[in-house]
Amino acid sequence: MKPGLMLVLFVALLLLVAVGLVGVGIYNGLVTKEQAVDSAWAQVQNVYQRRADLIPNLVETVSGAANFEKSTLTEITAARASVGQVKLDPEKAPGDAAKLAEFQKAQEQLSGALSRLMVVVERYPALTATTNFRDLQAQLEGTENRITVERGRFNEAVREFNTAVKSFPNSLLANRYGFAPKPYFTAQPGAEKPPAVKFDFGKQK
């Protein structure tokens, strides 16, 4: 074999090896970023589940207050039940945009019911003064803060993954091996504005 041909074959072999290594690196990078999204999603589910687990104790504590509005307790119990009915396929979550939107809507309904409950509870000083209620309130507030943090981390992980998937030359392998962009958690319309809560309980009718 001529030396020139051997050199060409050697260079071609090196190029093939280099391309292969680059491809492996891209694939492994996409897998790593997708795992980061899945891990962040698991944390989101954990904090939402913690909130759901606190609600039965909260309802039991509040329902002991004399003349407490039963409709408020019914609403929060129904909202918690609707959250449990949203089932996400572990193989697809959190890549299924429609299911994520359904999950988010159910969680936002529960958040709204909790907010209304806390406003109503203010009418019962004897209830808000109990240690059990104060402890539950503190745990719920802490959980709501964790939900905000974990949703932010999830969106950041999704942003990094989506950027990698859409960037060239990653996009060539991403399409080939089924790496598709994932949906974000989105802010509820008007969420950037603090709610206006007015306490007019002292007014005489």
pLDDT in tens, 38-96: 999 999 999 999 999 999 999 888 887 767 778 888 999 999 999 988 877 766 667 88
pLDDT in tens, 122-150: 888 888 888 989 999 999 999 999 999 99
Pick the closest to residue 63 from 120, 11, 105, 23 (CA basis): 120
pLDDT at 107 over 90: yes
- What is the second-level CATH architecture of the domain 27-176? Up-down Bundle (1.20)
pLDDT of residue 200: 38
- For residues 37 and 158, the answer to whether their CB atoms sit within 8 Å is yes
Q: How confident is the model at residue 203 (pLDDT cuts 50, 70, 90)?
A: very low
pLDDT in tens, 146-200: 999 999 999 999 999 999 999 998 998 898 888 999 999 986 544 434 333 333 3
- For residues 165 and 171, the answer to whether their CB atoms sit within 8 Å is yes
pLDDT of residue 142: 94
pLDDT at 28 over 70: yes
d(CA 199, CA 205): 14
pLDDT of residue 6: 72
Residue 190, CB half-sphere, CA atoms under 13 Å: how many? Answer: 4
Domains in the chain: boundaries? 27-176
pLDDT of residue 139: 94
- For residues 73 and 62, the answer to whether their CB atoms sit within 8 Å is yes
pLDDT of residue 31: 93
pLDDT at 204 over 50: no
d(CA 92, CA 81): 23
